[in-house]
Structure 1
Amino acid sequence: MAIKAVVFDFGGVLIDWKREYVYSRLIPDETERRWFLDNVCKMEWVVQQDGGQTIADGTTELIATFPEHEALIRAFYERWHEMLGGVLADGLALVDALDGVHMPLFGLTNWSAETFPYAWERYPVLQRFREVIVSGRVGVVKPDPAIFALMRAEIERHLPGIQPHELVFIDDNLHNAEAATALGWHGVHHTDAAHTEAQLRALGVPI
């Protein structure tokens, strides 16, 4: 069974993004910082904006719940660009290798529609994909099967008749990789480029 397309997640695979890049400066104490990121500006809240809620609404709602942390909450999206550490070299090397064997590449990312343009304009690697689905634009986030259906529909426009077992999906979030596998794709949990490359080769991708 030949692999006919590879789908990349972006954050943690191609783009270095960490909340700590900002909050390590704002909350020097590690225990306090971890509490704040686990309980206030937690990932579940970030995913709401990734799913289409506006930054303004998300910020207002969180401040209403934690008014004592208003300044720290506002800093999240005011300084969001500082959470970007740039392109991950090993992820870029994977894209280069797959490009080198003419593998069709697609992008599927949980990302706010309001912040994604900043990265799109600054990191050319994101523009190397045939189609990119941004969760904040379509109003659904991974691991919801609906967003994978949207991705597959976009892929089929380029590769008519493609089947799930002919697709690889690479994501640093295990739950998202497992969701792809449950749909018949080959979900690859990206922990490092060497491991991902080995899994691609095991699937017959000649890189």
Structure 2
Amino acid sequence: MEIHTIIFDLGNVLIGWQPRALFERVFDTKEEVDHFLQNVATLEWNEKQDAGRTIEEGTRELIAQHPEFEREIRIYYDRWTETITGPIEGTVEILKELKASGKYRLLALTNWSHELFPWARETFDFLELFESIMVSGEVELQKPDPAIYRLLHETYDLKAYGGCVFIDDSLRNVEAARKEGLDTIRFESPKQLREELVARGVGLGGSR
């Protein structure tokens, strides 16, 4: 089926996000960074903010659980922009080529706190290339919950997903989307993404 709609994840597909980039500046050793991110400020904890919980509430709860890390827990959001490593230029180029072609509907589906996403909109002008961006914190659902893919379908009238392809770096998000009927690409690199889109017949400015 001919592709007409391309749906991008943002974090680590178009915009680099690495909490380690911040906490390597906070802690003295790799072991301390590993312990903090694996046992204190975990992805599971962060995802609750992505699903709509306020940063204040999430911070307060985590400090109550780990009072010995209060300073570092507060740093997580006080210096949150230091976890953003910048645009992934090769993917941004693909997005620009898709937009320039005028052939494709471009949407984004991102797990992101509703309190933090306005900064991303102000910082990365290429986000304006999307017709619309569904932000998990705004709809209070998050990937890989099947409900967010269903909401995407209903909101943008995706007609049973025919002709759509969804791009995400997370295996669990890709698998959940696939179970809902979306054609999916698990993002590994801009080069690999370009090749997979071209293989689906998507028109890009070459397969470099």
TM-score between both structures, scaled by the size of structure 1? 0.95
- What is the percentage of aligned positions where both structures have the same residue? 38
Tell me the distance in 2 between the aligned counterparts of 1:165 and 1:182.
Answer: 14
1:13 aligns with 2:13: yes
CA contact (8 A) 2:99 2:129 kept: no
Q: Which residue of structure 2 aligns with residue 116 of structure 1?
A: 117
1:183 aligns with 2:201: no
- For structure 2, the 5+ residue unaligned runs are none
CA contact (8 A) 1:172 1:189 kept: yes
Shift of residue 172, structure 1, vs aligned partner: 0.8
1:107 aligns with 2:108: yes
Cα deviation, 1:49-85, whole Å, max 9, x if unaligned, reads: 0000000000000000000000000000000011112
Q: Give the aligned residue type for 1:14.
A: L
Q: Which residue of structure 1 aligns with residue 192 of structure 2?
A: 195
Secondary structure at the residue paired with 1:26?
Answer: coil
CA contact (8 A) 2:168 2:185 kept: yes
1:37 aligns with 2:34: no
Cα deviation, 1:117-136, whole Å, max 9, x if unaligned, reads: 01111101112111110000
Residues 61-140 of structure 1 aligned to structure 2 (within 5 Å): 61-102=61-102, 103-140=104-141
Q: Give the aligned residue type for 1:3.
A: I
Shift of residue 21, structure 1, vs aligned partner: 1.6
Shift of residue 166, structure 1, vs aligned partner: 1.2
Shift of residue 3, structure 1, vs aligned partner: 0.9
Q: Give the aligned residue type for 2:184.
A: G
Tell me the distance in 2 between the aligned counterparts of 1:182 and 1:202.
Answer: 22
Q: Which residue of structure 2 aligns with residue 57 of structure 1?
A: 57
Runs ≥4 residues deviating over 3 A:
none
Tell me the distance in 1 between the aligned counterparts of 2:159 and 2:198.
Answer: 20
TM-score between both structures, scaled by the size of structure 2? 0.94
CA contact (8 A) 2:62 2:73 kept: yes
Tell me the distance in 2 between the aligned counterparts of 1:49 and 1:62.
Answer: 12
Cα deviation, 1:141-169, whole Å, max 9, x if unaligned, reads: 0011111112122322xxxx633131111
Secondary structure at the residue paired with 1:7?
Answer: strand
CA contact (8 A) 2:7 2:167 kept: yes
Tell me the distance in 2 between the aligned counterparts of 1:154 and 1:124.
Answer: 24
- For structure 1, the 5+ residue unaligned runs are none
Q: For structure 1, which segment, 162-171 or 44-53, has the greater mean C-alpha deviation from structure 2 after superposition?
A: 162-171
Cα deviation, 1:22-50, whole Å, max 9, x if unaligned, reads: 10010120011101100100100000000
CA contact (8 A) 1:59 1:73 kept: yes
1:153 aligns with 2:154: yes
Secondary structure at the residue paired with 2:92?
Answer: helix
Tell me the distance in 2 between the aligned counterparts of 1:169 and 1:42.
Answer: 26
CA RMSD of aligned residues (A): 1.1
Q: Name the count of aligned residue pairs.
A: 203
CA contact (8 A) 1:14 1:88 kept: yes
CA contact (8 A) 1:171 1:190 kept: yes
Tell me the distance in 2 between the aligned counterparts of 1:193 and 1:5.
Answer: 18
